[in-house]
Amino acid sequence: MNQRAKSEDLVPIRIPKNIYDWLNEVAQHMGLTVDKLASIILSQFWEINRVLAQPIPRVQAKSVEDLTNKLTLIKEHKALIRRFLIWANNKGLTDQDLTQEHISRFLEEYTMDKSLSKNTRTKYRYALNTYLRLVKEYGLTRKEILGEG
C-alpha cells in the first residue's frame, strides 16, 4: 500500500453525492484526499472479504472436535473432578496453581483405600490432566468446563 498506484491502475468510480460529501468531510479532518480515504476504506473491506472467503482450515475443525471430546470426558468424570477441586481448594490452590504433581498427590490420597484397577487409575489421571489442559491451554473457567453457574 505504500507504493504509488500507476495511473493505468486507477479507475474512476461513481458514488452518491451524500457519500462523497461525507468522505470529503472526513478526509479533510484526516489530512487526506477523498480518493485516498475511499481507497483506504475499500482496501480494508477487500482484506476482510479476502479473509472471509478463504476456506476454514481443517485444523480449526479438529480443535473444535478435540474440545468437544475433552468436555465430554470431563462430564463423565465430573464427580472426580469436583472432589479434586475441593481437595485443591482445601490446600489453598487455585485452578492456575494446579500441576501434575498435585494430580498425583490427590490420586494417592483419593485411591488409597480403594481397590481400583490400573486402568481406572489411568482414566482418572487422564480426566484430571484434561481438566488442567482446558484451564491452562484453552483458557476456560471452572464454570465453563463443568457447566455450572
DSSP 8-39: GG-------HHHHHHHHHHHHHHT--HHHHHH
Compare 137 and 55 and report the one with higher pLDDT: 137
Shared domain for 71 and 38, answered yes or no, is no
Mean pLDDT of 127-136: 93
Rounded to 5 degrees, φ, ψ at 122 are -65, -40
Q: How far apart (Å, rounded) are the C-alpha atoms in residues 129 and 37?
A: 52
In terms of Cβ atoms closer than 10 Å to its own Cβ (0-12, 13-18, 19+), residue 122 is exposed
Supply the range of the domain harboring residue 89: 58-146
Shared domain for 81 and 98, answered yes or no, is yes
Compare 21 and 47 and report the one with higher pLDDT: 21
Domain tally for the chain?
2
pLDDT tens for each residue of 67-125? 888 999 999 999 999 999 999 999 999 999 999 999 999 999 998 888 889 999 999 99
Q: How far apart (Å, rounded) are the C-alpha atoms in residues 86 and 82?
A: 6
CATH number at residue 12: 1.10.1220
Give me the chain's average pLDDT, please: 86
Report pLDDT for 82. 95
Does residue 74 form part of some domain?
Answer: yes
Shared domain for 96 and 137, answered yes or no, is yes
Of the chain, the percentage scoring pLDDT greater than 70 comes to 88
